[in-house]
Amino acid sequence: MTMMNKIVFATNNENKLREAREILAPLGIEVISQREAGADCEPEENGVTFAENAMIKASAVYDIVKCPVIADDSGLCVESLDGRPGVYSARYAPKGQECAKLLAEMKDIPDNSRGAYFQCTIAYIDAEKYFTVSGKCVGEIGHEERGTNGFGYDPVFLYNNGKTLAEMTADEKNKISHRGNALKELYKKLKEKGE
C-alpha cells in the first residue's frame, strides 16, 4: 500500500474534522475522530508552544488506539499584542466572546499595526516515527465582526482579499487556511516517506 487510508484525528471538534476530511479526502485518506476510534481522553495541553501541545494530544490518543494519529494546536498571533493570544487562543476569552475581547483590546491600534497570523502545528505519530509540520495564514485584524461561516476568530481576521475568514466559503478558506496549509505539509511529508 502506498498511502495509508485511515488516520485518527485527536479531536472531537466537528469544524476541525470537517476541514481535515475535506482536504485529505481527495488524497484517499479517511479521517476519523478520537471518539470514533474509541479514545476517550482529554490530555492537559500544558505545553508552551503549538508543537508541544499538538504532540501531547497525539501521544495520548496514540497510546490508546495504536494506529496513526494526528493532532493539531493552533491559534491567532497578533503582532501588536506581542504574539498574543497565541497558544492561549482557546482560553483567551469565554467561548463565543473571543472576537469581542480582541476588538476591545485593539480598539486604539491603528490600521498599519493590525497585522496578525493564524498558525497551526500538526503532530503526527505512528509506531515508527513522529514529527510536526506547520502552516500559517497571514492577514490582519479588522475593526468589526463580519461573516457567519467561520468559528473562533474567523469573523475579525481579514485576509488579503478583503474578506474575513468567516465571509469565505469552505473551499476558499481551505485553500488559504493555516490548518489547510499544515495539512498540505503533512501530506507532502507522508508522501516523501512512502506511506
Q: Hey, which residues are catalytic here? A: 73
Tell me how far apart the alpha carbons of residues 128 and 125 are, in angstroms, rounded to a whole number.
Answer: 8
168: helix, coil or strand? coil
Q: Which three cell numbers stand for residue 126?
A: 505512528
Instruction: Give the DSSP H or E segment for 188.
Output: helix 178-192
Residue 161 contacts residue 138 (beta carbons within 8 Å) = no
